[in-house]
């Protein structure tokens, strides 16, 4: 079997292409990293399989062999046409601008696998967390710093909006590490692959919860009660009630957003009368 580097060279020669910095293209060429990603994807037993940004096909080569309904989302026009010519179901679009409901119509376990462009990785996690009946699992490549934010603990510098949303809606685990030499061209940062498994939803209104958590972290130096004061009149809540809830939860009235873990955010969200 040819190596990932050899397959990349073949596709680039055939199409006359190179990685585009504007699209955040760093093509995966490590056979070991690819093997670990594919193994994790297989463990999830997908029936509907989606890949964002297949590029020259480091993962696609193996994903298309799995017994699942397989489709790809590719923004690069040349690569999108290449995969159409290979007989794949291709959506030529920006993954952040799509209505993902089109991928969720069929029954069966839905899995997203991607060596994500770094600039869209956080947005993909947050956006897919908003889908109430969407993906069951994800296996995604991140800049290591972003992966650390997803797994961060409360009261740490890395803890924030992305952490709370990811940990509220997903169980995550590390699949593998990837260094700059595992890509062509090599990025300037280390990478990490995470696997996500959807949790039973603790909140019904995902978008209201996102708005609530965004407000909480809007100005990190400000007190939590000030950051979310916009919700007081909307929900017929007084600042005194809010302070009482914080004290009841074991916090001081001077608490900041980074002190609350994801479970406590859900509790506070529901105290405001949200579902």
Distance of CA 214 to the CA centre of its chain: 17
| Residues contacting residue 25 through CB under 8 Å, at least 6 positions apart | 19, 53, 55, 76, 117
Bridge partners of 196? 138, 172
Band of pLDDT at residue 110, cut at 50, 70 and 90? very high
Q: Do residues 269 and 212 lie in contact, with contact meaning Cβ atoms separated by under 8 Å?
A: yes
Mean pLDDT of 45-64: 97
User: Could you check whether 4-198 and 206-271 share the same CATH topology?
Assistant: no
pLDDT at residue number 23? 77
Query: Where residue 154 falls among pLDDT bands split at 50, 70, 90?
Result: very high
The domain segmentation of the chain, as residue ranges, is 4-198, 206-271
- Mean pLDDT, all residues of the chain: 95
Q: Residue 197: CA atoms inside 13 Å, Cβ hemisphere, count?
A: 10
pTM, whole model, 2 decimals? Answer: 0.95
Structure confidence by residue, pLDDT tens digits, 192-228: 999 999 999 889 999 999 999 999 999 988 999 999 9
Tell whether domain 206-271 is in CATH 3.40.50.300. Answer: no
Handedness of CA 120, 198, 49, 176 (dihedral sign): positive
* Domain covering 4-198: architecture: 3-Layer(aba) Sandwich (3.40)
């Amino acid at each position: 079997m040819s190596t990932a580097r050899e397959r990349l060279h073949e596709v680039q020669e055939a199409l006359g292409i190179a990685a585009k910095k504007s699209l955040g293209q760093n093509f995966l060429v490590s056979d070991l990293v690819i093997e670990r990603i594919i193994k994790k994807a297989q463990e999830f037993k997908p029936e509907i399989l989606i890949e964002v940004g297949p590029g020259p096909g480091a993962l696609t080569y193996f994903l298309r062999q799995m017994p699942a309904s397989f489709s790809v989302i590719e923004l690069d026009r040349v690569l999108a046409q290449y995969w159409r010519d290979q007989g794949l179901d291709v959506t030529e679009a920006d993954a952040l601008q799509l209505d993902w409901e089109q991928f969720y119509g069929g029954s069966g376990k839905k899995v997203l696998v991607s060596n994500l462009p770094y600039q869209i990785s956080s947005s993909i996690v947050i956006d897919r967390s908003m889908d109430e009946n969407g993906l069951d699992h994800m296996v995604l490549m991140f800049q290591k710093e972003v992966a650390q934010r997803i797994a961060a603990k409360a009261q740490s510098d890395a803890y924030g909006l992305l952490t709370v949303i990811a940990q509220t809606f997903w169980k995550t685990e590390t699949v593998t590490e990837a260094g700059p030499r595992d890509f062509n061209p090599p990025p300037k940062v280390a990478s990490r692959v995470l696997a996500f498994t959807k949790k039973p939803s603790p909140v019904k209104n995902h978008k209201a919860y996102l708005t609530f958590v965004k407000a909480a972290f809007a100005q990190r130096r400000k007190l939590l009660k000030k950051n979310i004061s916009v919700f007081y009149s909307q929900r017929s809540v007084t600042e005194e009630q809010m302070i009482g809830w914080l004290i009841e939860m074991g916090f001081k009235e001077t608490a900041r957003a980074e002190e609350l873990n994801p479970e406590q955010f859900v509790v506070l969200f529901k105290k405001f009368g949200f579902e």
